[in-house]
């Protein structure tokens, strides 16, 4: 099982083992990672599972589709390494993926 | 001192309240009573990827069991609350137990409105609301199966789209003159009707179901005009009503839902309510509303949790909704009731357009079809009571955020 790391807004580091095939958002939510709200549950409709992907990782992910890009523009403080965690599907290659959870989420 | 908080109902609102209570530092006893056997789970996929089988059941729960263990949540699943005694602050459960509470939170949700016409009681008449409803429907969605959906609202259309993708021969019967007539503008209805028909769905509006017939199970649907629709599989999606019997029997004020104030408090000061079951004031929209919405359940539960802990928190959010049908995403924010102006941005033929509602010049609500940017910008504008420039608003080349 790949292990992924969330750097929470409260400063805590949460490492979570998650099965291949689920999304990064689901991994966060199942374990109650702080700051990943994911209100719409992965429908790409709310931008509340926004994360910053740590260096070296962005190019190893599948690039975002238009819907995600549209949502990201209106996420809380988007940056070049912003992604919606509901659109990142976990694979073995993503073992060690590290993301920072923003201090706030859109509309929250 | 508040030592026990009892939550009845394990849907979106109940799950969120637990989360907020612990995050906010409540160390006392939290008991969740849910008549559903499953850990609190997401409902939206039930008509979409869970119905089609793309999403496995283990991906529906919000949280793993370990989360509840870690946070010391007493889960009483598959248990029904039978009676609330507000005077004694006690709830009787179907397993014979009684739970005493200091604060009670009702997250009872909504229940499907039932058909009442002759034949409604026949086996094989499916409703779609909870996880156990799904396997029976899915089993019937075999390629070529004649699938009749009664009701062209969110549930009906999402189910129709899923069934069609699974290869079924789908007929949707809608009583009104257009689909989703209570929730979207006529050009949005037209757009979605066209999408469904293009995908091969037989969509019939202005038709009233008068009778279901069959032998051991339902086999056909008879409409007022005499038309008969053969049904191998039948799903009914004709709306929902608040699940409020428990509250009403306890003597709490109920009307269209459990009456709560902006602090999510019912007419009993120790009892709060959140989610689809509430009839609550919207200060922003200056009316009482009952919302069937993930967002409202989530936000109202968050506010309720704060209030349960004695921290006055007003619930007054701009609600939002979404629906996925085929490759279309409908995003709605705000409430359009009482609007005096309507502006469409963009051409439906481009498959990307937005309908805006205004009242006295203020943006009230937006229905965005495949247009995330308009929708997200509108969420902000509506909350701020912004007054967009009408010419700019009508011009799809001007970004929504730049219309003020």
Structure-token pair, residue B135: 């396997």
- Check residue A108 and give its pLDDT: 60
Cα angle for residues B364, B369, B373 (degrees, 5° grid)? 70
SS3 letters across B224-273: CCCCEEECCEEEECCCEEECCHHHHHCCCCECCCEECCCCCECCCCCEEE
Structure-token pair, residue A82: 């912003």
3-state SS assignment for residue B311: coil
User: Domains, chain A, ranges and CATH?
Assistant: 3-100 (3.10.20.30)
Residue B139: count of CB within 10 angstroms of its CB:
10
Considering the entire predicted model, what is its pTM? 0.95
Number of residues written out for chain A: 108
Domain B4-111+241-308 falls under CATH 3.50.50.60: yes
3-state SS assignment for residue B25: coil
Give, for B289, the enclosing helix (H) or strand (E).
strand B287-289
Residue A11: count of CB within 10 angstroms of its CB:
7
Rounded to a whole number of angstroms, the distance from the CA of B69 to the nearest CA of chain A is 11
Q: Which residues sit opposite B321 in a β-bridge?
A: B332
Give B 303-342 residues with CB within 8 A of chain A.
320, 322, 324, 329, 331
In sequence order, the 6+-apart residues with CB closer than 8 A to the CB of A99 are A4, A5, A6, A7, A24, A51, A52, A53, A54, A57, A83, A85
Nearest Cα neighbor of B161 from B49, B278, B26, B282 is: B49
3-state SS assignment for residue B189: helix
ipTM of predicted complex: 0.90
Contact A87, A94 (CB under 8 A): no
Rounded-to-integer distance, Cα B287 and Cα B280, Å? 8
Domain ranges of chain B: 4-111+241-308, 114-236, 327-402
Rounded to a whole number of angstroms, the distance from the CA of B199 to the nearest CA of chain A is 21
Equal fold, B4-111+241-308 vs B114-236: yes
Q: Would you call B329 and A43 a contact, using CB atoms and an 8 Å cutoff? A: yes
Test the B interface: residue of A67, A107, A108 with most B CBs within 10 Å: A107
CATH number for B114-236 (one of 3.50.50.60, 3.30.70.20, 3.40.47.10, 3.40.30.160): it is 3.50.50.60
Segments of chain A scoring below 70 in pLDDT: 108
Query: Which residues of chain A make contact with B64, given a CB cutoff of 8 A?
Result: 30-31
Residue ranges with strand state E in B165-239 = 169-173, 202-204, 209-214, 218-223, 228-230, 233-236
Contact B203, B196 (CB under 8 A): yes
Q: Please, what sign has the CA dihedral across residues B48, B51, B53, B55?
A: positive
Burial class (CB in 10 A: 0-12, 13-18, 19+), B129: middle
Q: Please, what sign has the CA dihedral across residues B184, B188, B191, B195?
A: negative
Burial class (CB in 10 A: 0-12, 13-18, 19+), B63: buried
Q: Which residues sit opposite B76 in a β-bridge?
A: B33
Cα angle for residues B294, B300, B304 (degrees, 5° grid)? 145
Segments of chain B scoring below 50 in pLDDT: none
Per-residue burial over B28-59, b = 16 or more CB atoms within 10 Å of its CB, e = otherwise: ebbbbbbbbeebbbbbbbbbbbbbbeebeeeb
Question: What is the tens place of the pLDDT at every residue in B361-377?
Answer: 999 999 999 998 899 89
SS3 letters across B58-95: HHCECCCHHHHHHCCEEEEECCCEEEEECCCCEEEECC
- Check residue B29 and give its pLDDT: 98
DSSP B303: H
Q: Would you call B63 and A46 a contact, using CB atoms and an 8 Å cutoff? A: no
Pairing of strands B146-150, B233-236: parallel
In sequence order, the 6+-apart residues with CB closer than 8 A to the CB of B179 are B152, B153, B156, B157, B172, B189, B192, B193, B196, B203, B205
Test the A interface: residue of B376, B377, B399, B402 with most A CBs within 10 Å: B376
In words, the CATH class of domain B327-402 is alpha beta
């Amino acid at each position: 099982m790949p292990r992924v790391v969330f750097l929470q807004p409260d400063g805590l580091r949460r490492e979570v083992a998650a099965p291949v095939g689920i999304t990064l958002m689901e991994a966060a939510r199942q374990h109650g990672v702080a700051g990943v709200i994911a209100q719409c549950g992965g429908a790409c409709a709310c931008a509340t599972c926004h994360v910053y992907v740590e260096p070296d990782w962005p190019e190893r992910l599948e690039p975002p589709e238009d819907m995600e890009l549209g949502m990201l523009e209106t996420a809380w403080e988007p940056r070049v390494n912003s992604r919606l965690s509901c659109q990142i599907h976990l694979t073995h290659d993503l073992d060690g993926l590290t993301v920072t959870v923003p201090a706030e989420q859109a509309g929250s | 001192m508040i030592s026990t908080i009892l939550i009845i109902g394990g849907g979106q609102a109940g799950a969120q309240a637990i989360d907020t209570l612990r995050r906010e530092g409540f160390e006392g006893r939290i008991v969740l009573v849910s008549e559903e056997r499953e850990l609190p789970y997401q409902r939206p996929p039930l008509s979409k990827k869970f119905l089609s089988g793309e999403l496995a059941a283990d991906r529906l729960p919000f949280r793993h069991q370990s989360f509840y263990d870690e946070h010391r949540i007493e889960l009483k699943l598959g248990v029904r609350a039978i009676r609330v005694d507000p005077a004694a602050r006690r709830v009787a459960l179907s397993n014979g137990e009684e739970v005493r509470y200091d604060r009670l939170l009702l997250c009872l949700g909504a229940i499907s409105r039932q058909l009442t016409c002759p034949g409604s009681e026949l086996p094989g008449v499916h409703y779609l609301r909870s996880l156990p409803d799904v396997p029976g429907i899915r089993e019937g969605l075999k390629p070529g199966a004649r699938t009749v959906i009664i009701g062209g609202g969110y549930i009906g259309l999402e189910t129709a789209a899923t069934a069609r993708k699974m290869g079924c021969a789908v007929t949707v019967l809608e009583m009104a003159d257009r689909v989703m007539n209570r929730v979207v503008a006529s050009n949005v209805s037209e757009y979605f009707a066209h999408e469904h028909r293009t995908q091969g769905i037989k969509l019939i509006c202005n038709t009233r179901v008068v009778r279901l017939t069959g032998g051991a199970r339902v086999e056909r649907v008879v409409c007022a005009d005499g038309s008969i629709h053969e049904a191998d599989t039948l799903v009914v999606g004709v709306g929902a009503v608040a699940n409020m019997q428990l509250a009403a029997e306890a003597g709490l004020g109920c009307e269209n839902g459990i009456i709560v104030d902006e602090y999510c408090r019912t007419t009993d000061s120790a009892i709060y309510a959140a989610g689809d079951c509430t009839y609550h004031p919207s200060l922003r929209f200056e009316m009482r509303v009952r919302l069937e919405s993930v967002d409202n359940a989530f936000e109202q539960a968050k506010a309720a949790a704060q209030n349960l802990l004695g921290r006055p928190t007003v619930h007054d959010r701009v609600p939002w909704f979404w629906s996925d049908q085929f490759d279309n995403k409908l995003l709605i924010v705000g409430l359009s009731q009482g609007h005096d102006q309507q502006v469409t941005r963009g051409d439906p033929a481009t498959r990307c357009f937005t309908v805006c509602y205004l009242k006295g010049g203020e943006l009230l609500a937006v229905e965005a079809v495949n247009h995330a940017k308009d929708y997200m910008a509108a969420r902000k504008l509506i909350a701020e009571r912004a007054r967009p420039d009408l010419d700019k608003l009508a011009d799809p080349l001007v970004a929504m955020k730049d219309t003020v």
